[in-house]
Structure 1
Amino acid sequence: MVSASSSCDIASRHISVLPCETLAVFAPLWQEGEGPVRILDGTLGLGGHTQALLEASPRVSVCGLDRDEEALALARQRLAPYGERFHGVHCEYSRFADALDALGWDSLDGALLDIGVSSLQLDEAERGFSFYGDGPLDMRMDQHSGRPSAWHWVNRESFDRLKECIATLGEEPQAGRIARAIVDARQKDGIDTTAQLAALVERAYPAAWRAKARRHPATRTFQALRMAVNDELGELQRFLDGILRRLRLGGRLAIICFHSLEDRMVKQAMRHWAEGCRCPRHVMRCVCGHEPEVRILFKKPVQAGEDELARNPRASSAKLRAAEKIAEEGTAGSDGACA
């Protein structure tokens, strides 16, 4: 069993964002009814959100997934006091169905994603996620996955692929200059460390831009490489494609995003699920009979307040969106047919 001091030490390594707001999304699940409440935490991290859920009600059980083996080991240590109410699984969150099948969980009452990089990953230079320390260009959330690391992207990918990656995933206006600087530099010598790459990107930035920049010039480039290395948008899309079918009626989904592209994907998916008629615009009368599958819980995404930002500045870009499932996929109204 984990001692109180050990649990506090693990918790201090990463502060969960929007903890109260996230808990409020799921609270109706255990405030109503009497049976067990099964929740998926697809991005377990160090287990902060999961611990809050387990503390909220003895009826709650959580299946927590993470592809970072170090984080998973620490979360298991932290959550050991909850016994069989917690199940930690090493896998990508897009493979949630496999994990649930192994547990015999046919349906879920709730599902949660917190799609941010943990402090554990950012603060350990040897993981290669951050330019504030000097470490190898890795950036893989699962270092044993066999996936190409950031070193491969920086030293092997073409100028065009690098430019597209940095421009699209990093939303970096200087993507062309940065990609050219990387390609030119690696022809002379390899780029092996985060410090080398950060310095290279900084030099590639126009002096006027460097003077006005609020963040380090390498911020967006590192973000883009990390997202490419871990296929983060692909992971999210595969999750969104399958999660609604696993939620029971009345089940709830909460997703916290830190990146505009991910938040846009979540917003569009939830809006699509919440649509009624899906007939083409030229059809004068609905013939599809499609009913909304979810009720969106917040008109606008929930963001951290001043008190939380004072405790945890990394919460500044977090956005929470949530929905409740109100109908099965493909449900039709009484005067229509399934689409």
Structure 2
Amino acid sequence: MPEAAIVLARFLHYASVLTLFGVSLFPLYTYPAHAGAPPERVRRLLRSMVLLATLAALLSGCFWFACVVAGMTGTPGSVFDRDALWPVLSETSFGKVSAARFLIAVSLLGLIATRPTFVTTSSPRLTVGFSAALLASLAGVGHTQIHEGIASVVHVGADGLHLLAAGAWLGGLLPLLYLVATAVRTPSPDHQVEAGNAALRFSGMGYVAVATIVGSGLLNGWFLVGSVAGLIATPYGQLLMLKLCLFAGMLALAAVNRFWLVPSLIKNKERSPNRLLFRLCAHVLGEQALGLMIILIVSAMGTMDPAINLQG
């Protein structure tokens, strides 16, 4: 199986699972109990997003597993061969984790399909729990398996936190974009207030997400890169530096939103709030574009030898 197919499968799966968690989490901090429930149009949107993201996660996860099986056996047709599938499922950590994650995705999809109010009204925290388990369990495959003992536990924990924080940020951008774009498309005081409050609460969540990403990222870098030489002189390290540059771009856009656009929008300092909303919409789109590029880089890095292995 060509490596490009595995990178594509990883990209599609990571993007869908990160989106699933971020969208599931969004109503919990954007519409807290004292602020009231989300409007009906927002509830419908969130349910549709969660349903589509869960379906995409399930399908892309199967595609990823098929690519890995084909790569291990050397023949694409082995995906349909029980004798080839069973050893991967039963004897490899990737197969065991993939099977557990498949059950989580199927369970969540079934709950969403059979209970229309499951996502946003009856048990939103249960939705978040399922999606968090699906996302954090990605830390159980890949480069975290190169260590043993306590180092493995610490690395898996750091990677799981890294994934959850990234999902909260990147996935939450989608419903935030909808609220801001709605305020741009149909200007009204209510939509403006809703978009401003959502952006402010998203920024509050972003502080926690960024701190977690930075802290867990430093731990992951120590485990997988190990030195400045590994960061500079290896393909893995060079891709990591590109990822850090894109992350810095996301931080810059988020900082402008938090410290200029959102306060001005909430305080009504501008005579033309629609101009601020349009600028905020463009910045959210910019963060999403940079985030997708980061996911693509991470998908490629997952197929490469870590820098610390090359140095060894």
Query: What's the TM-score once normalised by structure 1's chain length?
Result: 0.30
More strand by share: 1
More helix by share: 2
Q: Kindly name which structure, 1 or 2, has the bigger radius of gyration based on alpha carbons.
A: 1
Which of the pair has the greater relative contact order for Cα pairs under 8 Å at 6+ separation?
2
